[in-house]
Chains A and B, each alone.
Chain A
């Protein structure tokens, strides 16, 4: 790809989604946009680049942004955050919200749905902690196509074997030929909606827990800061944030601080936590 074309996509992605495209991601443009070029009947990626320099069709621009922002995912991806959710966050919240008996969670880049559904399954598996509670999982993504896939909740044999124990497969899925579809009980716990992280988050309401894993890595410093500032306002003074295991708030957020010995789990620096209860649930 020519440098001028790379810059064209780079600027477009920055403007439309805040996504930062570094030069080492050039291969991603090729692999992800070639199918888009094909879908739009361009002879090649180069031809599409030429067309984009004129008056680009907004629908084409949308397809490009969606193709570039779709992330890899799997059930219980990385394991650890779901352990922390089960062993630290849920027991704590079971106490701190015992009067309201409700729990709201936001998956801030839900992709094809495995993350929010993994949370829903974990909540169901731990119902003894939160019996009869109202649980709402809001899952957002910037791509309508991927949201459609997520709502359908039907996964290939390959997808259900990555990270999902067989007992949970047989318990919460129904077989549909070669595919496996999540049972209604799980699907109903998750509400999917289109949302761009650059937009006003106040419209989403408040959440006890936010998961924003492996998302910030795609943004530049400025945008990362902005997103974390906005997220800090979306959780109550004793809420939680999950980031990807390789991500950090160091130098980009004054609001959040990592919980010791809980990789990927963050609390509000100026928060109001029952530290004794929190440490007790963290110690297991």
Chain B
């Protein structure tokens, strides 16, 4: 089973995201900021990370930059999932090694669509 780490400082968002990714057949863990996510990745490297931008302690973009420098840090697919919805943020995220970008609010269809695009799962048959 593929493993997803949901990183967001909102408990509600983490819960919603967890329900969606588990519904897509992934196992799931949560982290409430970039530092906790970094610690988690030193234990088990996830297959995919859903990453908020603005969080206390360590932001999503700082975490991403540190992650990509880790051994095996290029492995996980990183999908930003944030209310930051301007071109500048999107481009900065992509330049820092994000694989995809979701502008909140999201729903299960959007997450599934992005998981398919980064090659984590097959397109569901019609």
Binding site for B on A (CB under 8 A): 74, 78-80, 157-158, 161-163, 165-167, 169-170, 175, 178, 244-246
Contact = CB atoms under 8 A, between A and B. Distances in A.
Contacts of B90: 166, 169-170
Given A158-B110, A161-B113, A162-B113, A167 B94 contact: yes
Contact of A170 (B91, B107, B114): B91
B49 interface: no
Contacts of B103: 157, 161
A79 B103 CA distance: 21
Interface residues of B, number: 21
A165 B100 CA distance: 7
A214 to B, nearest CB: 8
A29 B71 CA distance: 57
Contact of B113 (A163, A170, A175, A244): A163
B115 interface: no
Nearest to B107: A158
B96 interface: no
B126 A245 contact: yes
Contacts of A162: 109-110, 113
Contact of A166 (B86, B100, B106, B116): B100
B102 A161 contact: yes
B57 to A, nearest CB: 26
11 contacts: A74-B113, A78-B123, A157-B103, A161-B106, A163-B113, A166-B100, A170-B91, A170-B94, A175-B86, A175-B87, A244-B126
Nearest to A161: B110
**Interface SS of A by simple majority:** loop
B126 A165 contact: no
Interface in B106-126: 106-107, 109-110, 113-114, 116-117, 123, 125-126
Interface of B: 85-87, 90-91, 94, 100-103, 106-107, 109-110, 113-114, 116-117, 123, 125-126
B94 A166 contact: yes
Contacts of A80: 123
B123 A79 contact: yes
Q: What 7 pairs across the A-B complex have the smallest Cβ distances?
A: A166-B101, A79-B123, A245-B126, A161-B110, A246-B126, A165-B117, A157-B103
Nearest to A168: B117
A231 to B, nearest CB: 21
Nearest to A174: B87
A170 B126 contact: no
The interface centre, meaning the residue of A79, A244, A245 with most chain B CB atoms within 10 A of its CB, is A79
A167 B101 CA distance: 9
A162 B107 CA distance: 10
A175 B113 CA distance: 21
A28 B125 CA distance: 23
Nearest to B123: A79
A42 B114 CA distance: 42
Given A166-B100, A170-B91, A245-B125, 17 more contacts: A80-B123, A161-B102, A161-B106, A161-B110, A161-B114, A162-B109, A163-B113, A165-B100, A166-B101, A167-B94, A169-B90, A170-B94, A175-B86, A175-B87, A178-B85, A245-B126, A246-B126
Contacts of A167: 94
A78 B113 contact: no
B70 to A, nearest CB: 23
Contacts of B125: 245
Contact of A157 (B85, B94, B109): B85
